[in-house]
Amino acid sequence: MLNIQNVNYNSMLELLNKYKKQIIYVIVGLFLLYGIIWVTTRKPQMPIDYKAAIDSLTKANTLLIKKQNQLDSTIRVYESEVKAIDTKISNIKEKTTIIKEYYHEISQQTSHYNAAQVDSFFKSKYGY
């Protein structure tokens, strides 16, 4: 039995010597494959102070967004008030134009009046 074990051991050593290069290539290849898989699948670890800084910036950003939304709503209110004032101004301009045209027509008519018509015009206008 000792002889059989010795024969098996010797044949195993012969196989190892014969395929030594191939075995080394396979082992190196496996290590390279493991290294590539490890590099591509590992999750980067963020330092704690960076994470804390990011969290505080996120909180500040949400506060700024809320304030910006409040400002936007205030701007919308002011814009609606400005539009209302603009419509009032345009109405006043239209009325002013109409009044100017009316008095321009009347002033043109008064240049053709005789003395009695001028007297009646001033009586109706100023009430004397």
Please enumerate in sequence order all residues whose Cβ is within 8 A of that of 121, keeping only pairs 6 or more positions apart, or say none.
110, 113
**113 neighbors 121 (Cβ within 8 angstroms):** yes
Looking up tokens 């012969």 gives 14
Query: What's the residue count for the chain?
Result: 128
Record the pTM: 0.45
Would the pLDDT of 1 be above 60? no
pLDDT of residue 78: 96
Q: How far apart are CA 53 and CA 50, in angstroms?
A: 5
For residue 31 the two structure tokens come to: 């290590």
- Given a cut of 80, whether residue 8 has pLDDT beyond it is no
Identify the residue whose tokens are 């205030």.
Answer: 74
Q: DSSP assignment of 9-23, as one string?
A: HHHHHHHHHHTHHHH
Q: pLDDT tens across 10-60, in order?
A: 788 888 888 888 989 999 999 999 999 988 888 777 788 888 999 999 999
Write out pLDDT tens, residues 53-107: 999 999 999 999 999 999 999 999 999 999 999 999 999 999 999 999 888 887 7
**pLDDT number for residue 71:** 97
